[in-house]
Amino acid sequence: MLHSIVFLCCVSLPFSLLRSQELADDAQRAKDTRTVETLLRLKSIDPNTNPKLSSAVSRYLKTVEGTDRYLDVVEQLKFKAAAEGICELAIEQFATPLGVQATRVLLKLDGSSRFLEVLETGSTEEKVAVVHLFGSVGNRLCCETLAEIIMSDKSAPVVRQAAVAALLKSPPGKEVIEEALESDNFPATLRITTAAAVTQLSDTAFKNSVAKYLKLPETADAQPLPPLEELMTARGNLELGEKMFLEKGTCSKCHVIGTEGKEVGPNLSEIGSKLSREAMYVSILDPSAAVSHNFETYYAELFDGEVVTGILTSESPDEVTIKTADAVLRKLPRDDIDLIEKQKLSLMPEGLQKNMTADELISLVEYLLTLKKKPE
Ligand code: HEC
């Protein structure tokens, strides 16, 4: 009954009443615009401390949300009540000039505390967005924050890798990277992704000065691999590559291609459609740089002292199944498990290139790149 009354009221609201509401809104908008224009000219009045002016500015800002004008007004009026909205705008638009401008405005208005909070408690996507924004702003403060992210292993690998890429965008950021490399403090787990990111730069002077720190690991003949840049242009032999996968590379102990191999890690039958040449090298040389989803390593300690590590393949309320590196399925009753935790390191061992020469590795990558999804 109540429902239909409300409904009736709504539909029968006289047209003139609606119209007069619209007019009132228009009038309010015009008034707010005038207020804002006045405040922008009379720099002596601070809307932050006057509730009435503050509401007028807030109402005005709503009408220009997500635009340059919005940022411009907030910046000029130093309007602190908009800080939250600007932070959201920056993260949402992190890849656009508007997002970067929002970041600059917020840093000036309110310091970095909000962004630091996102870096502490936000989702991984939000953290990567802030890292990206800090790289675009590229001032000392932002670079210091990014350096902290790189140097501590508290953050997820993707966030740390994004921080490397972000630092490489600005001169102070590059300095930070170079200093860390020089002082030998640079985290080993980021070396190969950093080498990969550096090859993308056009700044040859910087590339040359960091090259000596970013040498790739050694291969079978105790020679270091040529720089990634050279690997990227080198081409290999498909037959030799396939042989590497099956034999010296030991890849087929953990990966399936077609009907060959054991499935501990992801099936690689279509890997050429997923990874670029560069990503393929990084996956092989530095497996823990970006561990594929669903293939994280778990470490379990049983009450009898036994330790089991491997990929978690399934779990139920009373049992956990782990596939070990030699493709054995271990069913562990929960009652037997003292401790189980996810590891940061991939189950795929690093240093597999040591079984091969540079040419053999190049051929292996060449072969993997040909493994494409069949057209439907
Ligand atoms: C002991 C087992 C093991 C061996 C040996 C191994 N891998 Fe892996 N590999 C894994 C696991 C587990 C993952 C998934 C976790 C990760 O991404 O690091 C993986 C991931 C990968 C990926 C990324 C796949 C994707 O979908 O993103 C590539 C490419 C790869 N391996 C190639 C190789 C090659 C080439 C070799 C041989 C030189 C090799 N692997 C040897 C276990 C292994």
**How does pLDDT run along the chain (376 residues), one tens digit per residue?**
445 444 445 555 666 777 888 888 889 999 999 999 999 998 788 899 999 999 999 999 999 998 999 999 999 999 999 999 999 999 999 999 999 999 999 999 989 999 999 999 999 999 999 999 999 999 999 999 999 999 988 888 889 999 999 999 999 999 999 999 998 888 887 888 898 888 888 888 998 899 888 888 888 888 888 888 889 899 999 999 999 999 999 999 999 999 999 999 999 999 999 999 988 998 999 888 878 888 999 999 999 989 999 999 999 999 999 999 989 999 999 999 999 999 888 999 988 998 999 999 999 999 999 999 988 7
Are the C-beta atoms of 366 and 241 separated by less than 8 Å? yes
Closest CA to ligand 1's atom 12: 265
Residue found by looking up tokens 């001169």 in the block: 171
Neighbours of 279 (CB within 10 A): 15
Closest CA to ligand 1's atom 40: 251
Closest-lying ligand 1 atom to the alpha carbon of residue 349:
1
Neighbours of 321 (CB within 10 A): 15
Query: Using CA atoms, how far apart are residues 276 and 292, in angstroms rounded to an integer?
Result: 15
Å from CA of 349 to ligand 1 middle: 8
Å from CA of 120 to ligand 1 middle: 31
Closest-lying ligand 1 atom to the alpha carbon of residue 356:
38
The token duo for 1 is: 């009954």
66 sits in the region (left: phi over 0; alpha: psi -120 to 50; else beta) called left
- Best residue for ligand 1 mutational test, from 158, 255, 263 (most atoms within 8 Å of Cβ): 255
The ligand 1 site (C-beta within 6 Å) comprises 249-251, 253-255, 264-266, 271, 274-275, 280, 283-284, 287, 291-292, 295, 311, 325, 346-349, 352, 364
Which of 78, 77, 76, 108 lies closest to 90, judged by CA?
108
Which of 68, 66, 45, 47 lies closest to 57, judged by CA?
47
Closest-lying ligand 1 atom to the alpha carbon of residue 245:
37
Closest CA to ligand 1's atom 18: 291
Neighbours of 143 (CB within 10 A): 25
Å from CA of 198 to ligand 1 middle: 24
